[in-house]
Amino acid sequence: MRLSARSYPHPVLGNRDDVPGAGFQAALEMSADKECIYIAADVTCSCETLNALLNDGRAAYVLHVECSNTLFRRAYEFREPHHRISIGADNLNDAVEVNVFVRATDRIGGYRLPEAHPDYADAAFDIQRGDILAVGEGQVFYVESDFDSLSRIGSIMQINESPKDGDIPMEPDFNGDKIVIFLSKNDFAEYKVLKLHEGVRDPLATIIVLPVLVEAINILMKESDGLEDTRRWVRALARRIESLGLNRESPPLLLAQKLLELPVKRALSSSRMLVERGGS
Amino acid sequence: MRALTIFKSTFINALRSSIPANLDKYLRDDVWISESSTRSAREMQTGVEAAEPLSLEPPVDGDHKDTANAIRLHRALRHLTPLQARDPRLWTRLAHVELWPYMRLRWDASKHMANRERAIRFVETRYFVAQSQSRALLRHGIARLWWTAQLSHDPDRENPYELTMVLLSTLDITQQIVERGMGRAKNIIHGFLGFLLANRELLLTGGDKNRVRIRRLAKHLNMYGGVCVLDLLSQSEITDLLSKELERILTLESAGADGGKSA
């Protein structure tokens, strides 16, 4: 459920300036193991009226989880301000939206919030069961269930045959979940044969993957939202740079070579071995 | 039962980018995919097996057989996890190989060939899972059958697929409920479809009037979902909300205030 600021028929804590005299925050954390995704919420509510309703059981917290990728949508009700839920890892993938609310668990007649905006004056509202009384700042998490966690940089790239004819330069497409490198039909046919030979694998990676990775790092630094980017390859690359403790401000060519573990050195070394074995 | 075979992602990328070049092949009755690449470059075995043979009834003379086929497919692949069932490699493979004869009849690209760009978009939408979002799954020729059955399957009913029949009775219902986020919550979709079924005389007998009523009910529920956490209401509470709205709609109709306008 994508929540935008909206006009409710009654004052809602956390929505615009409906209730300026109080706050509602939910700190959310997601973690995972092979079996489950865990979402922990730590809720703080400074509205006395709502806290009283929560204590009386006439209102409850709600953790709302929605994953458009797997059509998963579920709401979890809880009473304590600290709560953790677990969801089977088979249910979520990619972007997962999490929102926290307070909802009425009963009908509440004559609902008034002293902390509400003065425009509400002494107005009283008839609240129905289920009505939202407070909204927290929603958060989007990314679950990488079926995606290689970039143990090798190659896992964020795919090399494909270009649908275009003729001798054309290689062309990367950075718009999808993976970077797709299109090679001309002839080049792709050669690539398919050559990549099976261990001696040329490293030189091949250097001439195809290295320049594309440099361009990808440029995109990551200049145009993307890093870990918040909707493209998986961007998030994976950002995480990889972070996990290796590399400086994101380094020149992209330097970073790319560190990520690929000195590809020029490896290419030269395997080429020398190939020559020495009489493979030239 | 045989393990399911899926396409490799690299092959799908290449196949998708070749839609313009392959467009005429989407008019052929024979399965042509093996002409595109070697088997090892194209496909891989999974550890997932179909519980029943994968075959769908061919649509005939205006009867798409959507309901029967959704049930058939869901029964055969009922053990898929949501994560497996969102995988484009599975659905693209089924659409191009095992269920190609069905796809040719149900999603016939020749009807769009007068406009080449439209035909390309049609193939991309119905034969491929175009994006990683739910809408793409609900538009794909095969994935939509499984997902509509999955969302409407209610094991508490004598016929667990009773609501699937309602959901697929018109494309409009699918769009109104499933393509809105609220249709992914079981209590909401089951409550909505159950309400349509309970009021079939007023809502499911076809015609523009019924269609407008269904749209208004879906719109009302969607709007109400903006102020209320519908996901935690019981099905009977969803039914109550819809009953009140239907009463209001019928009152407006009988008072002539509606003026015959559609929503």
- B13 near A CB under 8 A: yes
Q: What is the ipTM of this complex?
A: 0.89
Name the residue with higher pLDDT: B87 or B70.
Answer: B70
Residue of A nearest to B233 (CA): A130
Q: Encode pLDDT of A37-55 as tens digits.
A: 899 999 999 999 999 999 9
Query: Is A33's pLDDT higher than 80?
Result: no
A213-217 average pLDDT score: 93
Q: Encode pLDDT of A234-276 as tens digits.
A: 888 887 787 677 887 889 999 998 888 788 887 888 788 778 7
Question: What's the pLDDT score for residue B49?
Answer: 82
A219-224 average pLDDT score: 80
Domain parsing of chain B, residue ranges: 1-152, 156-263
Q: Is the CB of residue B83 less than 8 Å from the CB of residue A93? A: yes
Name the residue with higher pLDDT: A119 or A195.
Answer: A119
Q: In this structure, which amino acid lies at residue A180?
A: V
Can you say how many angstroms the Cα of residue B204 is from the centroid of all Cα atoms in its chain? 18
A138-143 average pLDDT score: 87
User: CA-to-CA distance for B134 and B247, rounded, in angstroms?
Assistant: 33
**What is the DSSP pairing of strand A179-183 with strand A157-161?**
parallel
Q: In this structure, which amino acid lies at residue B161?
A: Y
B263 in helix, strand or coil? coil
* A178/B9 touch (CB, cutoff 8 Å), yes or no: yes
Alpha-carbon Rg for chain A, nearest whole angstrom, is 27
**Residue environment code for A173-203, b if the CB has 16+ CB neighbours within 10 A, otherwise e:** ebeebbbbbbbbbebbeebeeeeeeeebebb
User: CA-to-CA distance for B136 and B88, rounded, in angstroms?
Assistant: 10
Q: Encode pLDDT of B152-199 as tens digits.
A: 999 999 999 999 999 998 777 877 788 788 889 999 999 999 999 999
Mean pLDDT of chain A: 85
Identify the residue among A1, A135, A173 best suited for mutation to test binding to B, counting B beta carbons within 10 A and taking the highest: A1
pTM, to two decimals:
0.74
Q: Is the CB of residue A104 less than 8 Å from the CB of residue A128? A: yes
Q: In this structure, which amino acid lies at residue A183?
A: L
Q: Give residue ranges of A with CB < 8 Å to any B CB.
A: 1-2, 6, 8-9, 62, 64, 66, 68-75, 77, 88-94, 101, 103, 128-132, 145-146, 158-163, 176-178, 180, 182, 192
* B132/A71 touch (CB, cutoff 8 Å), yes or no: no
Question: What's the pLDDT score for residue B152?
Answer: 95
Mean pLDDT of chain B: 89
**What is the DSSP pairing of strand B43-49 with strand B3-7?**
antiparallel
Cα-Cα-Cα-Cα dihedral of A72, A75, A80, A84, to 10°?
-10
Query: Is A177's pLDDT higher than 90?
Result: no
Query: Is A68's pLDDT higher than 70?
Result: yes
Nearest alpha carbon to residue A266 among A194, A201, A209, A214: A201
**Residue environment code for A11-41, b if the CB has 16+ CB neighbours within 10 A, otherwise e:** bbbbbeebbeebebebebebebeeebbebeb
Q: Encode pLDDT of B107-165 as tens digits.
A: 999 999 999 999 999 999 999 997 667 888 999 999 999 999 999 999 999 999 999 99
